[in-house]
Chains A and B, each alone.
Chain A
Amino acid sequence: MQRHLISAADLTRDDAVLILDTAEEMARVADRPIKKLPTLRGRTIVNLFFEDSTRTRISFEAAEKRLSADVINFTAKGSSVSKGESLKDTAQTLEAMGVDAVVIRHGASGAPYRLANSGWIDAVVVNAGDGTHQHPTQALLDAFTMRRRLIGPDAGLGQDLEGKRITLVGDVLHSRVARSNVDLLHTLGAEVTLVAPPTLLPVGIETWPCEVSYDLDSTLTKSDAVMMLRVQRERMNAAFFPTEREYSRRYGLDGDRMARMPEHAIVMHPGPMVRGMEITAEVADSDRCTVVEQVANGVSIRMAVLYLLLGGNEPAVTHPRTEEK
């Protein structure tokens, strides 16, 4: 493992499988009456959130607390950041207080990379979502959910997702979840197809290790998992698609479409869902939909990541990508 977790693309297959296997162990902790490990006792982790994201922040916080770390929550609103303090100064201020790891959520793509590679601080950096770039722990929890559902919690140990057909549907252009998932699922051997209207796919996507389709119906029948991405309503006003209803008809997942998926196939969503837009209530509330499981798995994955990054269990794997020349 690298020192930091910035991008899902930085993970090797073995890194990723190690994280998933470790998360299985962490998940077992959640089944105990006392859901706590002493592993990170005395270590301090700051959740540095420049963007509102209660779900992700709470998930990290739960993971940190279950590992007995000391947790500091920092949100930009009402802090010195709103008075014009720079990312560098904020980070250095926090590090001066003795922080071992920084979990950062930032609206600017690349902010965690800068934090990890600019010599501003020495702490471990975990990317909790940056702009439209990456959200690696989301991709890991998604892969974990797929492995548990499609292979099994025990049978899956040591396994990757070789040959699994995963379809992601929605606003790929603005989605860090899509980017992270494409990178990680490809590393894990899955076959990924992105489905979206052409307006919501980035120029330059042709080099991504995945297939691209504009037609949801033809890919559904060939999918082991279908992940619906949130489509923000304001995209409509920027001419990405004509109306909410048209989007929903062409790219939304309803009961009829779900019925055409293979029997074993699951429906996923990173949340928050926009019911009636990309997913109907019927699908969201069905047994095939893993959205609540994904939330639970998120805590296990984040425990695994923090444990591996801070617990000292480091295989000597280095990757040049996040090291500045």
Chain B
Amino acid sequence: MSKILIRGAKVLGGEPQDVLIDGGTIAEVGSGLSAEGAEVVEAEGKVLLPGLVDLHTHLREPGREDSETVLTGTRAAASGGYTTVFAMANTFPVADTAGVVEQVWRLGKEHGYCDVQPIGAVTVGLEGRKLAELGAMHESAAGVTVFSDDGKCVHDAVIMRRALEYVKAFGGVVAQHAQEPRLTEGAEMNEGIVSAELGLGGWPAVAEESIIARDVLLADHVGSRVHICHLSTAGSVEIVRWAKSRGIAVTAEVTPHHLLLTDELVRTYNPVYKVNPPLRTERDVMALREALADGTIDIVATDHAPHPHEDKDCEWAAAAMGMVGLETALSVVQETMVDTGLLDWAGVADRMSVKPAQIGQATGHGRPVSAGEPANLTLVDTAYRGLVEPAGFASRSRNTPYEGRELPGRVTHTWLRGKATLVDGKLT
């Protein structure tokens, strides 16, 4: 593999430096590095980050290849600056056996746009009744370490307790989709002022918060760590903050859309804003931003959830829940966290690469940008501003809530172990 010299990039937003990639590794970081024998990428003014890691992606394959495949999803990931995605288990069939997780893992390897780390289901068929063969999935070629019934909550307290305990044997972590099922029967949007007016079924914040409260206490009791998916309310932030102050091993993620959008948008009844957990209020958004800045929330995860056009081009009740997010995540984080002064680029690297790689044990990802490290890198033109145009997405689906919205930042290059997957904004 040839040499690449990234010239004059602001590494983690700091002073301009040159970064020399040789093969799959960062060979040297410094000033005035020789370009001899290397392909040069002029990066003046751009920010260089470790390749982003998404702990929460729906790749839809197997089963819903009409909305996304491992290939199209990983191409979307590379476009968004990601070098690793964790693929959620709610496929058809469900990724609850070694066979399914190996299939997804192999497809990721074959396509080569980013590393694909399958997440295994906690329970058979995501039904919440019987533990899936967690050990077998861990021991498979896919080496699963993160388990989640995402899309559904592991609501049975005993099953959740057992899962938390069981995965300790091989250092796994359970990622909980916190949603008390009885409190969210018929739920269509955040329960509050807007739902009362629109006559849509309410999804109360307490349905999320009560499960998080239970699960941090369970994790404490059995001495396990627990990860909370897509935390969406100010109350959830308070509970996680309390748990961390007690030394409980909890980590939490927030999605880009929960950092930017509120339930006021639902007034349009446009299902592009229908998502689970739902868009909340301005107060929640501000609490989530603050929590991400102060580290209460550890990471940003996209919950990239592709759906075909017909599943959104309909009335609200009939529409599928979810939004694509891989290709807009970094822009939304820049808009909500960096341009607001809440987080610097080193902080972004931490929340979108270092920490998610640690939680998911993605070896070789989320590493420092320094000599000897794997060359998993993302180059961002942070001065760019432009309108989001879904027609240009690499994802097979277009269900973005940001169509026509102006957002800052554009990923121009992505390297996976020294191999460019994105060059000048174009997939290789």
Chain A residues with CB under 8 A of B317: 107-111, 131
Residue A54, interface by CB 8 Å: no
Chain B residues with CB under 8 A of A107: 317
A109–B316 touching, CB < 8 Å: yes
A179 to B202, CA, bound (A): 16
The residue in chain B whose Cβ has the minimal distance to the Cβ of A50 is B315
Interface mask (A106-134 → B, CB under 8 Å = 1, otherwise 0): 11111101100110000000000011111
Interface centre among A87, A108, A113, A207 (most CB of B within 10 A): A108
Contact of B269 among A86, A114, A205, A207 (CB under 8 A): A114
The residue in chain B whose Cβ has the minimal distance to the Cβ of A325 is B268
Q: Which of B304-337 contact A (CB under 8 A)?
A: 310, 313-318
Q: Which of A144-189 contact B (CB under 8 A)?
A: 176, 179
Chain A residues with CB under 8 A of B316: 108-111, 114
Chain B residues with CB under 8 A of A202: 195-196, 202
Size bracket, chain B contacts: 20 to 34
B196–A203 touching, CB < 8 Å: yes
Chain A residues with CB under 8 A of B310: 86
A257 to B212, CA, bound (A): 47
> What's the nearest-Cβ distance from chain B to residue A84, in Å?
11
Chain A residues with CB under 8 A of B204: 203
Also in contact, A110 and B318, with CB within 8 A (given A86-B310, A118-B313, A202-B202): no
A113 to B199, CA, bound (A): 13
Interchain pairs with CB closer than 8 A, number? 83
Chain B residues with CB under 8 A of A204: 191-197, 202
Chain A residues with CB under 8 A of B191: 203-204
Residue A88, interface by CB 8 Å: yes
Residue A240, interface by CB 8 Å: no
A252 to B383, CA, bound (A): 65
> What's the nearest-Cβ distance from chain A to residue B346, in Å?
36
The residue in chain B whose Cβ has the minimal distance to the Cβ of A179 is B199
A96 to B421, CA, bound (A): 47
Residue A31, interface by CB 8 Å: no
> What's the nearest-Cβ distance from chain B to residue A143, in Å?
19
The residue in chain A whose Cβ has the minimal distance to the Cβ of B270 is A324
A134–B199 touching, CB < 8 Å: yes
Residues of A in contact (CB 8 Å), total 29
Chain A residues with CB under 8 A of B196: 202-205, 207-208
Chain B residues with CB under 8 A of A206: 193
A152 to B204, CA, bound (A): 45
Residue B198, interface by CB 8 Å: yes
B314–A110 touching, CB < 8 Å: no
> What's the nearest-Cβ distance from chain B to residue A185, in Å?
15
A88–B199 touching, CB < 8 Å: no
Chain B residues with CB under 8 A of A133: 198-200
Q: Which of B195-253 contact A (CB under 8 A)?
A: 195-200, 202, 204
Chain B residues with CB under 8 A of A324: 268, 270
Also in contact, A108 and B315, with CB within 8 A (given A113-B269, A114-B269, A203-B204): yes
Q: Which of B248-296 contact A (CB under 8 A)?
A: 268-270
The residue in chain B whose Cβ has the minimal distance to the Cβ of A174 is B199
The residue in chain A whose Cβ has the minimal distance to the Cβ of B267 is A321
Also in contact, A203 and B199, with CB within 8 A (given A87-B315, A111-B315): no
Chain A residues with CB under 8 A of B268: 113, 117, 324-325
Contact of B314 among A87, A113, A130 (CB under 8 A): A87
Q: Which of A291-324 contact B (CB under 8 A)?
A: 324
Also in contact, A110 and B269, with CB within 8 A (given A87-B315, A87-B318, A202-B202): yes
B199–A176 touching, CB < 8 Å: yes
> What's the nearest-Cβ distance from chain B to residue A192, in Å?
15
Interface mask (A70-103 → B, CB under 8 Å = 1, otherwise 0): 0000000000000000111000000000000000
Contact of A179 among B194, B197, B315 (CB under 8 A): B197
Chain A residues with CB under 8 A of B192: 203-204
A244 to B192, CA, bound (A): 28
The residue in chain B whose Cβ has the minimal distance to the Cβ of A173 is B196
A179 to B197, CA, bound (A): 7
Interface centre among A88, A113, A325 (most CB of B within 10 A): A113
A324 to B265, CA, bound (A): 11
A106 to B314, CA, bound (A): 13
> What's the nearest-Cβ distance from chain B to residue A203, in Å?
5
A88 to B191, CA, bound (A): 28
> What's the nearest-Cβ distance from chain B to residue A250, in Å?
23
A130 to B269, CA, bound (A): 12
B200–A110 touching, CB < 8 Å: yes
> What's the nearest-Cβ distance from chain A to residue B287, in Å?
19
| Other contacts beyond A131-B317, A207-B197: 4, CB < 8 A | A109-B269, A114-B270, A117-B269, A179-B197
Task: Write 30 A-B pairs (CB below 8 A) sorted by A numbering.
Answer: A86-B313, A87-B314, A88-B313, A106-B315, A108-B316, A108-B318, A109-B198, A109-B199, A109-B200, A109-B269, A109-B316, A110-B199, A110-B200, A110-B269, A110-B317, A111-B316, A114-B315, A118-B270, A130-B199, A131-B200, A131-B317, A132-B200, A133-B198, A202-B196, A202-B202, A204-B193, A204-B202, A206-B193, A207-B197, A324-B268
Please list the 5 inter-chain residue pairs (A to B) with the smallest Cβ-Cβ separation, ordered nearest first: A204-B196, A110-B269, A133-B199, A108-B317, A132-B199
